[in-house]
Amino acid sequence: MDDSEKLVEAYLRGRGYTTVYEPDGNIPPDFAVDGAIGVEVRRLNQNHHDGTRTRGLEETAIPVWQRMRKLIETYGPSVPGMQSWYIFYRFTRPIPAWKDLSVRVANALDSLPAVAAKPKYSFDLGDGFELTAHASKLSLPWRFRHFGHSDDQSGGFLIEEIEANLKLCIAEKLKKIAPYRIKYREWWLILPDHIGFGLDEFDQQIFRSEVKLTLGFDRVILLDPRNSSRCFEL
């Protein structure tokens, strides 16, 4: 059982389900739930080739994403009369050391005006790292909001990347389970989400309003790989 399967098993058992791992051997499903539901597991991520091997984009994207979110949160709630901003960043590999990069990011955020004179401000922070601040038209509870990121190996806003990779994963798994579908009353697809980490409540609302997917499964669930109890069901 790999790490993704262990995470899914913890999620299912935490919900009170009885699970059996690989009930039919080395064929789908990965788990049988309560004897009637087939569950397939698939890691939701992106990949790039660095010249020596294929690496998940999250190997570098996750630490940057976590640190950016943490830095943005230090600016706290919005102040009446002060502009709120959606922050988008773009990078290419290799990524600068965070000790240096965090100073550049903070300087860019500090330079944003209290009242926006234009809808967007862009900053070239060097070493292939760019930051863009989009003025919010809404009254938000925070000063800065992480809106998405991209890199030269992937590209795209966070929601778009999840949508694109979900379509690939769903198509792959539907093909895989087709010969065995009749064996189970329902089929679920559960994906440890290494792109959006299950998404927070705000991003989930955006996803539901903007993304329309043909699922082909009775349930499709994204799990936060850092916490098996956090999930987002499509």
Per the structure block, which two tokens stand in for 100?
């240096």
Contacts for 31 with CB less than 8 Å, ≥ 6 apart: 5, 8, 9, 12, 19, 20, 21, 22, 23, 38, 39, 41
- The answer for residues whose C-beta is within 8 angstroms of residue 68's C-beta and 6 or more apart is 87, 89, 105, 146, 149
Q: Which domains does the chain have, with CATH numbers?
A: 3-46+158-233 (3.40.1350), 49-151 (no CATH)
Question: Could you give the 3-state DSSP secondary structure of residue 70?
Answer: helix
* pTM of the complete model: 0.58
Encoding tokens for residue 94?
């290799």
Longest dimension (CA), the chain: 63
Residue 47 has pLDDT above 80, yes or no: no
Which DSSP letter does residue 112 get? S
Q: Model confidence over 196-225: pLDDT tens digits? A: 888 878 778 878 888 888 789 999 999 999
Predicted pLDDT of residue 46: 67
